[in-house]
Amino acid sequence: MKNVIIILLPAFLMILTISCNKVVKADLVIINGKVFTVDPANPVTEAVAIKGEKIVETGKTNAIMKMVEKGKTTVIDARGRLVIPGFNDTHVHFGPLDPDFIELRYITDPKIITAKVAELIARSRPGELIRGGHWDHELFIGRKWPSKELIDSVSPDNPVVLSRVDGHSVLVNSYVLRQSGITRNTPDPPGGEIQRDPVTGEPTGILKDNAQNLIKIKEVKTILSPEKQEEKTWQGYLLALKEAAEYGVTSVQVPGYTDFSIYEKLKEKGLLTCRIDIGQFLTGDTEKLKKYLELASRYPRDSNWIRFGYLKAFIDGSMGSGTALMFEPYDDQPGTSGLTMWPYDEFEDMILKADKMGFQIGIHAIGDKGNHLVLNAFEKAIRSNEKWERRHRIEHAQTLQQSDIPRFGKLGIIASMQPTHCITDKRFYEKRVGYERSKGAYVWRSLLNEGTILAFGTDYPVEPLNPVEGLYAAVTRKDRHGKEGDGWFPEQKLTMEEAIKYYTWGSAYAQFMENRKGMIKEGYLADIVITNKDLLTIPENEIMLTRVDYTIVGGKIVYKSGK
């Protein structure tokens, strides 16, 4: 019997060796690329192999080619192009696109607002709501706030609501003011402002922050059959996903409420081309928080596609609208230092309750006092409640006192920031708060130096969805047309490698997914982008011209430019 075993052992070892040396055949490979992996252990390589949803190997092209099975493996020849992890937008108001929305981004002549409103009203019924937005009065000739007179003459029979680019102010016409009962005698609500004419005291048509909640209109809606309405909404979601894929956005994190079920349907039909986290609004209502726990159990963190995100609240408004909460009054509006959305005791109590129940929390904070109060509340929760891996976030973290910068790293608070806000807002920041306070604006480098994790996004539709604009902003701190010099407070600039890292791995960390997303690494989800220019080496004036050639999500090509 012993002799039989001795004879069979070499044969067994040979079979075992052949089995161990058998090359896994890939479903998709990328070869001849410049692969910036964001993996510090293997930062740059040439090729990637994917099987199913995951990356199975990275390395040299000749090694990866051994994993190609003729007729079955899709081969993408990158031809030297840059290959990076898919972009993960950590703060985006993602949803169906509306073809009737009046787009006012980047306009400089307010008369365009009048013309565009008139154009849509010409094909609308009386009483139908006219919506639009993304206007920025800081871009207007004269930089003056628009008023209801701009649209009243062309909209006598329709409600018109046009949001400022930051979403913290709206322009409405007299029709809306009348139906909402907003007059010169209407008091400003807590956390809101009805802008008034300095001479007459009449509302100008600008409603800031919580004053928007005063809008109450009887809207005449275009009556569509349930089937047609459902189809219109469905097509809106498909358009949004198409746009995301074209920009290389492979994951989105949505603050506040959106519909889980529509994304489930898209996933079931194989049409979901972007991973999504969906949050809810923070509340102090314990029963509602318990319902959120049930929702979180249905869409858990260990899922890779549709997940429950964080709980969001606002502490203040925006710098553009002059409602960000500051310690000192605004330089250009000495009568105000911004708005607070909550009495602090009530706000802190909400944080403590949600933290105790294990929710991740993300608070919108723009002004230096707003950020300070949020840090205080988070610190109180950390001291008062049991220890757990929180990863709470401050959404935007735009203006900080120097003394608050180290607190992010010490408390483990993620700075969820949108680089394009910097190059949009820098045009008026110093006018609002002066040079010294502006030193605390968008302090990416200072936060990193204190051990803070950054997570980048866009705040779309406040800013364009295209991540390349964010990368440009992070490395230049210049406006979109470029400018001589080193940029606005250049000591806060990042390298391109860092900017990509915090738009990929940093965003994954913010959603507890850094162990499986945000790098091009064996075992990680195969969410990958190939760009037409080498972002790591091109001059800064070419960054904004960079386009995505391929977007891959879960090992499937969801967009290709054809080039």
Phi and psi at residue 268, to the nearest 5°: -60, -35
Cα separation, 354 vs 368, whole angstroms = 24
Give the number of other CB atoms < 10 A from CB of residue 561. 12
The pLDDT assigned to 7 comes to 41
Assign 204 a pLDDT band (cuts: 50, 70, 90): very high
What count of other Cβ atoms lies within 10 Å of the Cβ of residue 27?
18
pLDDT at res. 21: 54
DSSP three-state, residue 76: strand
Distance CA 8, CA 11 (A): 5
CB 325 within 8 A of CB 370: yes
Helix/strand number for the chain, H first, E second = 15, 24
Tell me how many degrees the CA angle 341-432-348 measures, rounded to the nearest 5.
Answer: 20
Give the least confident one: 195-204, 255-264, 273-282, 342-351: 255-264
Q: Which residues have a Cβ under 8 Å from the Cβ of 277 and sit 6 or more positions away?
A: 251, 252, 253, 254, 307, 308, 309, 310, 511
Residue type for position 165:
V
pTM: 0.85
Other beta carbons within 10 angstroms of residue 226's beta carbon come to 7
- At position 336, the amino acid (one-letter code) is T
Summarize the confidence of residues 109-118 as an average pLDDT: 94
What value does the mean pLDDT take over residues 165-176?
92
Q: What does the DSSP 8-state code read for residue 399?
A: B
> pLDDT tens digits, residue range 427-463?
999 999 999 999 999 999 999 999 999 999 999 998 9
**Coil/strand/helix, residue 249:** strand
Residue ranges and CATH numbers for the domains of the chain are: 2-80 (2.30.40.10), 102-214 (3.10.310.70)
Q: Residue 345: count other Cβ atoms within 10 Å of its Cβ.
A: 8
Say how far apart CA 511 and CA 309 lie, in whole Å.
7
Please write the tens of the pLDDT for every residue from 299-356.
999 999 999 999 999 999 999 889 999 999 999 999 999 999 999 999 999 999 999 9
Percent of the chain with pLDDT over 70: 95
More confident site: 561 or 3: 561
pLDDT at 484: 84
Tens digits of residue pLDDT in 522-554: 999 999 999 999 999 999 999 999 999 999 999
> CA-to-CA distance for 201 and 185, rounded, in angstroms?
9
* pLDDT above 70: residue 6: no
Positive/negative CA dihedral, 383, 385, 391, 393: negative
**Per-residue pLDDT at 469:** 96
Residue type, position 209, single letter: D
**240 pLDDT more than 90:** yes
The stretches of 2-76 forming alpha helices (DSSP H) are 2-21, 61-65
| Residue 139: pLDDT band with limits 50, 70, 90 | confident
- For residues 388 and 553, give the distance between their C-alpha atoms in angstroms, rounded to a whole number: 31
Q: Give the range with max mean pLDDT: 1-5, 109-113, 187-191, 373-377.
A: 373-377
Q: Are 370 and 324 in contact (CB under 8 A)?
A: yes
Kindly state the average pLDDT of the residues 123-131: 91
Q: What is the pLDDT of residue 481?
A: 83
Give 483's pLDDT tier (boundaries 50, 70, 90): confident
Q: Is the pLDDT of residue 12 over 50?
A: no
Which pLDDT value is given to residue 223?
A: 63
**Residue 421 to residues 6, 165, 202, 284: CA-CA distances in angstroms?**
73, 11, 32, 30
Rounded to whole angstroms, the Cα distance separating 363 from 18 reads: 56
Q: What pLDDT does residue 20 have? A: 47
pLDDT band at 511 (very low <50, low <70, confident <90, very high): very high
Query: In what helix (H) or strand (E) does residue 193 lie, and over which residues does it extend?
Result: strand 192-196
Q: What is the mean pLDDT of residues 396-404?
A: 98
Instruction: State residue 105's pLDDT score.
Output: 87
Please check whether residue 519 is in contact with residue 38, taking contact to mean a CB–CB distance below 8 angstroms: yes
Question: Quick one: pLDDT at residue 19?
Answer: 44
Separation between Cα atoms, residue 245 and residue 241, nearest integer Å: 6
Residue 14 has pLDDT above 80, yes or no: no
Residues 6+ apart with CB under 8 A from 398: 319, 324, 365, 366, 367, 371, 417, 421, 425, 441, 442
Q: What is the mean pLDDT of the chain?
A: 93
Point out the least confidently predicted range of 17-21, 134-138, 207-211, 510-514: 17-21
Q: What is the pLDDT of residue 97?
A: 87
Task: Please state, in angstroms and as integers, the Cα–Cα distance from residue 443 to each residue in 402, 491, 543, following that order.
Answer: 10, 9, 21
Residue 99: pLDDT band with limits 50, 70, 90 = confident
* The predicted structure's pLDDT at residue 378: 98
Three-class DSSP category at 251: strand
Q: For residues 84 and 38, is the Cβ–Cβ distance under 8 A?
A: yes
Average confidence (pLDDT) over 184-199: 94
Buried b (16+ CB within 10 A) or exposed e, 426-458: bebbbebbeeebbebbbbbebbbeeebbbbbbb
> How far apart (Å, rounded) are the C-alpha atoms in residues 273 and 251?
9
C-beta neighbour count of 152 within 10 angstroms: 17
Confidence (pLDDT) at 3: 44
CB 46 within 8 A of CB 33: yes
Secondary structure of residue 479 in the 3-state scheme:
coil
